[in-house]
């Protein structure tokens, strides 16, 4: 079922609550900042854009989603929960013994998880392979890959980007979570990423810049038809830790632990 704009905004609020709930319950540190920054992106994808059937998770004509910035799982698992790929019992097992839901995604098609991820820089290459295979098989599904802006420091990202345009993979969409921070600090200090949209354009991608927390803009950008013969890059300007005042643009919350007082404050903010 495709949700309306208001329904997607409500979905994003629930997803932020889910993130806080499982982060607090896991009784340890978690990647909160980068999970919070992708919430609207994930809500739009799983609420309105992706062609999926949770009752048939291995349906051959489903769209594929690859979380290349694997530390963003806190924004991924709530989307899968809300889409119906698993229930609360599995969701609440996050980071517990024998859980299928750990700190980075592990491929499990029955749970809707299309790929495993550990080190950064590999997801787009996988997406290129899937997109090329779909076109060779004359399938109409699309492949969506979500990367971090810090991840775009990796050379393998640009090898994949060059391949995608060379093979005219119009069925491939890369989304960059452009929150300007990465594990070690500000992205422009680690390796200056000024002109990131122009870099994607230079690799011959159809490049669209959006406010990554604006549902209407995301819906427009992510609903591209794929018929142009060019891959699409959506550069989503986001705020790390979005929705919680003490987390926003605060890189201490890239990976941190929620105490009860922090949890209570964050919960009151995301639900207000």
Strand partners, 206: 232
Q: Are 186 and 150 in contact (CB under 8 A)?
A: no
Q: Cα separation of 190 and 153, whole Å?
A: 9
To the question of pTM greater than 0.75 for the whole model, the response is yes
Closest CA to 152 of 180, 116, 113, 185: 180
Q: What is the CATH number of the domain that holds 117?
A: 3.40.50.970
Q: Cα separation of 57 and 10, whole Å?
A: 25
Tens digits of pLDDT across the chain (272 residues): 689 999 999 999 999 999 999 999 999 999 999 999 999 999 999 999 999 999 999 999 999 999 999 999 999 999 999 999 999 999 999 999 999 999 999 999 999 999 999 889 999 999 999 999 999 999 999 999 999 999 999 999 999 999 999 999 999 999 999 999 998 889 988 988 789 999 999 999 999 999 999 999 999 999 887 677 899 999 999 999 999 999 999 999 999 999 999 999 999 999 98
Give me the torsion for CA of 268, 26, 146, 108, rounded to 10°: -140
Q: Which two tokens stand for residue 199?
A: 């870099």
Q: Are 125 and 169 in contact (CB under 8 A)?
A: no
Residue 210: its H or E element: strand 206-211
In this prediction, residue 220 carries a pLDDT of 96
Give the three-class secondary structure for 15. Answer: helix
Q: Which two tokens stand for residue 81?
A: 């929960």
Q: How many residues does the chain have?
A: 272
* Total domains in the fold of the chain: 1
Tally of CA atoms within 13 A in the half-sphere of 221 that contains its CB: 28
Domain around 59: 5-270
Where do the H-state alpha helices sit in the chain?
A: 5-25, 32-36, 39-44, 73-83, 88-91, 123-136, 155-166, 187-190, 196-202, 215-222, 260-270
Q: What are phi and psi of 180, to 5 degrees?
A: 70, 10
Neighbours of 27 (CB within 10 A): 10
Q: Read off the DSSP letter of residue 232.
A: E
First to last CA, the chain: 26
Q: Read off the DSSP letter of residue 58.
A: T
Q: Which two tokens stand for residue 245?
A: 């005042």
Q: What are phi and psi of 143, to 5 degrees?
A: -120, 130
Q: Determine the longest span between alpha carbons in the chain, in angstroms.
A: 54
Q: Cα separation of 221 and 185, whole Å?
A: 29
């Amino acid at each position: 079922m495709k949700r309306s704009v208001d329904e997607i905004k409500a979905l994003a609020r629930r997803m932020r609550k889910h993130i806080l709930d499982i982060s607090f319950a896991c009784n340890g540190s978690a990647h909160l900042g980068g999970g919070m920054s992708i919430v609207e992106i994930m809500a739009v994808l799983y609420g309105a854009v992706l062609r999926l059937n949770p009752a048939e998770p291995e349906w051959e004509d489903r769209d594929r989603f690859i979380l290349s910035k694997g530390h963003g799982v806190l924004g991924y698992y709530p989307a899968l929960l809300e889409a119906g790929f698993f229930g609360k019992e599995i969701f609440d097992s996050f980071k517990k013994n024998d859980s299928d839901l750990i700190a980075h995604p592990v491929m499990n098609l029955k749970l809707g998880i299309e790929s495993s991820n550990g080190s950064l820089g590999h997801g787009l290459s996988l997406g290129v392979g899937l997109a090329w295979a779909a076109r060779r098989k004359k399938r109409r599904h699309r492949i969506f890959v979500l990367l971090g802006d810090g991840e775009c420091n990796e050379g393998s990202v640009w090898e994949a980007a060059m391949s995608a345009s060379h093979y005219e993979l119009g069925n491939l969409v890369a989304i960059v979570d452009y929150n300007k921070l990465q594990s070690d600090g500000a992205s422009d200090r680690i390796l200056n990423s000024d002109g990131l949209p122009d870099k994607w354009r230079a690799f011959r991608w159809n490049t669209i810049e959006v406010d990554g927390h604006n549902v209407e803009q995301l819906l427009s950008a992510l609903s591209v038809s794929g018929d142009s013969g060019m891959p699409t890059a959506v550069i989503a300007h986001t705020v790390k830790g979005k929705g919680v005042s003490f987390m926003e643009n605060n890189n201490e919350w890239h990976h941190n632990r929620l105490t009860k007082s922090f949890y209570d404050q964050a919960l009151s903010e995301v639900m207000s």
